[in-house]
Amino acid sequence: MEDMISIKFEHTDEEGCYFSSESKFKVYEEYCGTLDELGKSFNVFLKQIGYAFDKDYILMKSIDIEEYEVLSDFLEEYRRQKSKRGGE
Query: What is the distance between the alpha carbons of residues 11 and 52, in angstroms, rounded to a whole number?
Result: 16
Query: What is the distance between the alpha carbons of residues 42 and 33, in angstroms, rounded to a whole number?
Result: 14
One digit per residue, the tens of pLDDT, for the chain of length 88 reads 567 788 899 999 999 999 998 888 777 666 556 777 777 888 888 888 888 777 777 777 888 999 999 999 999 999 999 999 886 5
Residue 53 is given by DSSP the state: -
* Spans of all domains in the chain: 1-57, 62-88
16: left (phi over 0), alpha (psi -120 to 50) or beta: left
